[in-house]
């Protein structure tokens, strides 16, 4: 599958989670359904609001680390550049 970096949120300007995966539709679904215990389940981060494809998993992991080290303002700027209304992008990636 396609390596990707993504951000899940609890709501507009809510808690932000940055993650990396090789299967974004499956991983976003797992977050939405609360299947995996952890940060996103605890904080209700169920909305996929930003994602970016990477050429390799190594590149995706480096980008994830870069984003996690960045400020909240930088994360919000990335979200709003791609998705100014903070819509849930899950249906867009799950159904093409």
- 4-94 domain in CATH 3.40.30.10? no
DSSP 81: H
The tokens describing 28, both together, are: 């976003």
What angle in degrees, to the nearest 10, is found between the helix axes of 57-69 and 72-82? 120
* pLDDT, position 1: 79
* pLDDT, position 7: 98
- The residue-averaged pLDDT of 22-33 equals 96
pTM, whole model, 2 decimals? Answer: 0.95
- The residue-averaged pLDDT of 76-84 equals 97
* pLDDT, position 94: 86
Tens of pLDDT, residues 37-62: 999 999 999 999 999 999 999 999 99
- The residue-averaged pLDDT of 64-88 equals 97
CB 6 within 8 Å of CB 53: no
- Measured from the Cβ of residue 42, the count of other Cβ atoms closer than 10 Å reads 10
The answer on pLDDT for 17 being more than 70 is yes
Strand order in the sheet with 16-21: 16-21, 4-9, 47-53
* Domains of the chain by residue range: 4-94
* pLDDT, position 96: 56
Tell the residue number behind the tokens 């169920």, with chain if given: 46
Question: Following DSSP, what letter does each residue of 35-51 receive, concatenated?
Answer: -S-SHHHHHT--EEEEE
DSSP 80: H
Q: What is the mean pLDDT of the chain?
A: 95
């Amino acid at each position: 599958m396609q390596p990707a970096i993504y951000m899940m949120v609890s709501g507009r300007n809510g808690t932000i989670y940055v993650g990396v995966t090789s299967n974004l539709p499956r991983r976003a679904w797992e977050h939405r359904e609360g299947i995996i215990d952890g940060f996103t389940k605890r904080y209700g981060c169920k909305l996929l609001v930003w994602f970016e494809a990477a050429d390799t998993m190594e590149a995706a992991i480096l980008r994830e680390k870069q984003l996690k080290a960045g400020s909240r303002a930088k994360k919000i700027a990335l979200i709003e550049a791609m998705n100014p209304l903070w819509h849930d992008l899950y249906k867009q990636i799950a159904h093409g």
